[in-house]
Amino acid sequence: MAVIFRIALRNLREHKSKTLIIGIIIAVGIMIMTIGTSLIDTATTGIEEAFIENYTGDILIGGISEDDLSIFGVQSIGGIEPTPRIPEYARILEYLDTRSDIEIYTPEVTSFAAISVEGQKDPDSRGMTLLFGIEPDSYRDMFERITIIEGEFLKPGETGILLTQSNRKIIEKRLELTLNVGDSILLTGFSDTGIKIREVEVKGFYQLLSETDGVNMSSYIDIPTLRALKAINAGGLNEIILDASQTALLDADNFDDLFSDDAFSDAFAISDSNAFDDPFSLPDSSKTEEDTFLDPFAGSLTQNTDLELSDNEAAADMSKIEPSVENSLSISLRNDSGSYEFILLSLKNQRRTSRVVDDLNEWFIKEGIAAQAMDWKGAAGPFSSTADVIRNIFNIAVLLVAFVALIIITNTLLISVMERKKEIGTMRAMGARKGFVSSMFTTEIVLITLVFGIIGELLGLGALGIVSLINIKAGNTLVEVLFAGPVLRPVIHFSTLAINLAVVIAIGILANLYPVFVALRIQPVKAISSI
Amino acid sequence: MAIVSLKDVKKTYPLGKTEVHAVKGVSFDIARGDFISIAGPSGSGKSTILNMIGCIDVPTAGTVELNNQITSGLTDREITELRHKFVGFIFQSFNLIPVLNVYENIEFPLLLGKDTIDPKKRKEWTDYLIEEVGLTDWAKHRPNELSGGQRQRVAIARSLATKPELVLADEPTANLDSETSEAIIGLMKKINKEMNTTFIFSTHDPTIMELAEHIIKLKDGLISSEYRRDK
C-alpha cells in the first residue's frame, strides 16, 4: 500500500499541470458548495428556529387526517378541511407524563378569523388572523422567547386576544384606525355550523422570535373563545352521575316544566357552586380515581360561559347517555376528544426529536389511538418546504456543475492514463495485478480531491467569514428568517463540510472509473510495443 | 531439461482487412541456465516470440511451455502470477518507473506479489543487486538523472529482483553505444553464470549476437538457423 501511495503522490507532483487542472476544478466546486450549503443551512436553521421557537415546538401531536395535517389545519386540494381533534387526550397526556425526555407540553386549537372593529371607517373592511387557542401558563413556559411589546400575556381563565406587532400594523392600515390594549375587536369565525362572531378584548401585542410572512399574522386567544368561534364542544372525560332531583328534569312532561325557574333552581340547588358555571361538573365526592381524568389545562373551561355544543355533537353525546345505577344516570362524555386539536411538545434534547416522534407514533399504533406525531417540518406544513425548495434548486445547480466537472476531470484523467500506458504496461508485465493499477489511479484521485477539497473548503470558510464580518442586514422579515436573524451570520455545520468533501471525493472516484477501465484494458504487450 | 519449449508457434496480427503473419511456425527448446540470443532483422518476429515466452502475448497457434506448464488457457491472474515469479523483463527503452529512484525501481517487483517479504531481507537483496550492477552511489537518483547504460543496469537489477528463472531482454542494447552494449551483455552473462538464471535476449546487432552461447536466427517469422557455441 505504501508503494501505491508513494507512486500516486509522486505522479501528482510529476504531472503538475493535470493535477492543477483537476485540483482547481475541485477547489472551486467545493468552495461554491461550502458557501451555498452554509447559506442554505443558515436559512434552514432560521426557518427551523422560527417555527420551533414561535409555533410548533419540537414535536406536534395531532389527529389523523386523509390530507396533510399541519399546525395551520388540514390542507387538501379542495381547500381547508376540518382539523381532526385529538382522541383519547387524557391517555396521551398520561403517557407524555411518563416520558422523561419531554420538557413541557401545551395543548392548542388553531383557526382563522376575520377581524373588524365597531365604528371602523369602511364597514366592509376586514383584517385576518391566524388564531392559536392556547393555555396561557404552559404556552408561555414553552415559547418563552416571545416578547410582549405592549400589554400583558393572557392569564389562565382570562378571555382576550394578543396580536403580533406586524399584524397590528396591517390591521390598523386596513381598517384605518389605531389599535390599543383594552380595545375590543370582533372576530368572525367560520365553521361547519355557520358563522360565529365573538367580541374579545385586545390584551396585548407581541413580537415573535423571528417572523415568517403569512404566519406572522397570528394571534393568541383563549381556548374557550376559539372553541366557540369554531363551534367545538368541550368537556371532560368525567363520568357524570346525576342524582334523582337532577334526573327529574328529564322527566318533565312538557317544555314549560323543563325550563321553568323552579325546575332549574331545584335541579342545581344541591350541586356545588361550580355546577352553575359548568353544567357537567360534579361534586368531587361523586368521582372515582379510575373514571376521572384531571385535565391539567381544563381550569379555564369551567369559567367559560360561551361553550357550545353543535347540534350534531350534542345529539351524538346524548346518544351515549345510558343508565348506570338506580336513581342516577351515568353519562359518559367522551367529547373531550373534541377539545384540542394539537399538543405541542418541547424536548429536553432536540437531537432526540426523530426518535421521540417514532416512539410516539409506535405507541399510538400499539394503543389504537388515531393520533400522529410529527417534527417541526411536518408541523410547519408548506412553510417548511421553503428551505427545501432553495436546497433543491441549489442541489440541481450543483449537480449540473458536477456533471460538467465530471466530464472535464474524466478527460484529464484519460489523457493521463494514455500518457502512462508504458508505465502501466511495464507494471503489468512485472506482475502487477489489475487491482494494483486501479488502486494507484484511485489513490491519485482521492489525494487530489482530498487536498484540493480541503483547500476549497478553507477558501469557502474564508469567504463566509468575510460575509459575516461585513454585516449584511436583512431588509425584511422574510430575509430575516432566511438569515436566521437581522444580520447574516452564516451557519457552518462541520457535518456538512464533511459531507461536501465526501461528495467531491465520490465525484472524483466516479470521474476516475472510465479512465481506470481503460487503464485495465491496456495489455502489457501493447504498452511495450507502443514505446 | 527445457525451461522453455515452443511447439509450432504461430502468431498472426490483423491489419485492416489483411493479416500479418509475424511468426509462421517456430519450434525450439531452451535449457535451464542458457544464455541465448534470438537474432534477426527487424520484422523477423524476435520481439513477438519473446512476448509469447514472457506471457504478455498469446500465440495464434501452437503451444508455449514455461517450466513444463502450457501458458495458453491460464487466467489473467494466473498469468500475472507466473510472470511475477518466473520471468524477469529487460526492455529496449528501459521502462523504469520515472517517479521512483534506482533503489525503489529495483525493489518494486518485490512489492507486487501476494507473499510479503521481510523488509530487512528485501533491503539486503535490493542492496546486493544495486551493488552487483555497480550503482551503489546512484541508489537515490531518479531514472532521468542516469545515462542509458546506467538505466539499463537498473533494468537488469530489477529483472532479477524476484529471483526469476528466466530473464527476457528485448533488444537491451538497441539504445546504447557499442561499448556500453558489450558491458551490458557482459553483465548479463556474469549474472547468468553466478545465479544460473536463463537469459534470452533479442538483437539485430551481429556483434552482440556473437556474445551468446546459443543463437537462434530468424527470418520472416521462421527459424533460419540455430547453433550453440562452446561455453
Mean pLDDT over all residues of chain A? 78
- Give the pLDDT score at B127: 93
CB contact under 8 A, B57 and A525: yes
What is the band of A303 on the pLDDT scale with cuts at 50, 70, 90? very low
Taking 70 as the threshold, does the pLDDT of residue A419 lie above it? yes
Instruction: Indicate whether this model's pTM tops 0.90.
Output: no
Please write the tens of the pLDDT for every residue from B200-220.
988 888 877 888 889 999 999
What is the helix, strand, coil percentage profile of chain A, to 5? 55, 20, 25
Rg (CA), chain A: 33
Partner-chain residue, chosen from B89, B98, B113, that has the shortest CB–CB distance to A14: B98
Higher pLDDT, residue A134 or A382: A134
Digit-coded pLDDT (tens) for A6-43:
899 998 888 888 899 989 999 999 999 899 888 888 88
Q: Is the predicted pLDDT of residue A173 greater than 90, yes or no? A: no
Q: Rounded to an integer, what distance in angstroms lies between the CA atom of residue A216 and that of residue A116? A: 18
Which residues in chain B are closer than 8 Å to A434, comparing Cβ atoms?
A: 76
User: Looking at residue B104, what is its pLDDT?
Assistant: 94
CB contact A423 to B (< 8 Å): yes
DSSP codes, chain B: -EEEEEEEEEEEEEETTEEEEEEEEEEEEEETT-EEEEE-STTSSHHHHHHHHTTSS--SEEEEEETTEE-TT--HHHHHHHHHHHEEEE-TT----TTS-HHHHHHGGGGTSSS---HHHHHHHHHHHHHHTT-GGGTT--GGGS-HHHHHHHHHHHHTTT--SEEEEESTTTTS-HHHHHHHHHHHHHHHHHH--EEEEEES-HHHHTT-SEEEEEETTEEEEEEE---
Partners of B166 in the beta sheet? Answer: B87, B198
pLDDT band of B223, cuts 50, 70, 90:
very high
Answer whether A531 touches B (CB < 8 Å). Answer: yes
Considering CB atoms only, which of B56, B81, B95 is closest to A422?
B95
Evaluate if residue A152 carries a pLDDT over 60. yes
- In this complex, is the C-beta atom of B85 within 8 Å of any C-beta atom belonging to chain A? yes
Q: Is the ipTM of this complex over 0.95?
A: no
A441 contacts A512 by C-beta, under 8 angstroms: yes
Mutation target among A13, A430, A444, A530 for the B interface, most CBs of B within 10 A = A430
User: Which of A130-139, A154-163, A349-358, A374-383 has the weakest average pLDDT?
Assistant: A374-383
Is pLDDT above 90 for A353? yes
Question: pLDDT higher for A101 or A339?
Answer: A101
In the predicted structure, residue A380 carries a pLDDT above the cut 80: yes
Identify whether the C-beta of residue B114 lies closer than 8 Å to the C-beta of residue B98. Answer: no
Distance set, CA A389 to CA A58, A392, A452 (Å):
22, 5, 29
Q: What is the pLDDT of residue A284?
A: 42
- Identify all chain B residues contacting A525, using CB atoms and an 8 Å cutoff: 51, 56-57
Segment B99-141, tens digit of pLDDT? 999 999 999 999 987 777 888 999 999 998 898 888 899 999 9
Q: In percent, how much of chain B has pLDDT > 70?
A: 99
* Apex B159 CA angle, B154 and B160, nearest 5: 100
Mean pLDDT of B157-166: 89
Predicted confidence (pLDDT) per residue in B72-85, tens digit: 888 888 999 999 98
Compare A390 and A445 and report the one with higher pLDDT. A445
Q: Which of residues 171-230 of B touch A (CB under 8 A)?
A: none
Residue A330: pLDDT band (50, 70, 90) is very low
The 8-class DSSP code of residue A431 comes to T
For position A329, what pLDDT does the model report?
Answer: 30
**Percentage of residues in chain A having pLDDT higher than 90:** 29
Helix (H), strand (E) at residue A23 = helix A16-51
pLDDT band of A321, cuts 50, 70, 90:
very low
- Report, as an integer, the average pLDDT of B43-58: 90
